[in-house]
Amino acid sequence: MVQQAALDRVFAALADPTRRGILVRLGESPATIGELAEPTGMTLTGMKKHVRVLEDAGLVVTEKVGRSRQCRLGAAPLDEAMAWISFYQRLWARRLDGLDAYFTMRPDPKGPSE
Amino acid sequence: MVQQAALDRVFAALADPTRRGILVRLGESPATIGELAEPTGMTLTGMKKHVRVLEDAGLVVTEKVGRSRQCRLGAAPLDEAMAWISFYQRLWARRLDGLDAYFTMRPDPKGPSE
């Protein structure tokens, strides 16, 4: 069963280009908050907030290593988000099928056009 | 090319169980704001706000019909959201492949366990 609150958190976490960028960066290799912040010109505090949102959604896992916090990709809770989106796409396809059927079944009063 | 702002709007619109419920309902058939509000016990004003968020994301299209506003599914801008999520899943799979490779290549000093 899909946990609605978990799905809320995943979609909300993905609704920001900086956070999507962090996930792409962590797909390359784990990184500290400082390493994530540096190329963006963002403050450590600002970056920490974004990482926290991703961590709450389970998309990122962090661990204190010495004086810095190491970040890596979390355990892929995107499966449910993907399942939801593909369910919606099936709804949409069915709606289009309905329109197709409507136009196919409707006799053209002018006969076939050129 | 993925439009970041469009992706932001789609993910933000999906980050709410009421709005996901509206999409599922509209997958069955078009409905007025009143018909969408009725089973939820929500006010028309509250429902209008949710529909507006879905409309801004392109997930829902509305049309004034007489005194009510008819809502139907929009033109499926979820393809980009799906593409993004499956890209992230590939990043995650690659990371797991890396771990697999690490444990496979590392000789076990104790030999094979039972």
Residue B111 lies in a domain: no
pTM: 0.79
Residue A88 lies in a domain: yes
Query: In whole angstroms, what is the distance from residue A68 CA to residue B110 CA?
Result: 34
User: Into how many domains does chain A fold?
Assistant: 1
Q: Are B77 and B57 in contact (CB under 8 A)?
A: yes
Instruction: Judge: B14–A16 Cβ closer than 8 Å, yes or no.
Output: no
What CATH number is associated with residue B73? Answer: 1.10.10.10
What is the structure's pLDDT at A113? 45
Give this complex's ipTM.
0.78
- For an interface test with A, give the residue of B2, B14, B70 to mutate (most A CBs within 10 A): B14
pLDDT at B112 over 60: no
Residue A67 lies in a domain: yes
Residue A114 lies in a domain: no
Residue B14 lies in a domain: yes
Structural domain span for residue A13: 1-106
CA nearest B59: which of B96, B22, B91, B95? B22
Question: Could you say which of A11, A24, A91 has the minimum Cβ distance to residue B11?
Answer: A11
Residue B113 lies in a domain: no
Q: Which residues contact A85 (CB under 8 A, 6 or more apart)?
A: B14, B78, B81, B82, B85
Residue A6 lies in a domain: yes
Q: Mean pLDDT, chain A, as a whole number?
A: 82
Q: Are A61 and A51 in contact (CB under 8 A)?
A: no
Q: Are B23 and B72 in contact (CB under 8 A)?
A: no
Instruction: Judge: B92–A27 Cβ closer than 8 Å, yes or no.
Output: yes
CB contacts of A72 in chain B (<8 Å) are 95
pLDDT at A1 over 90: no
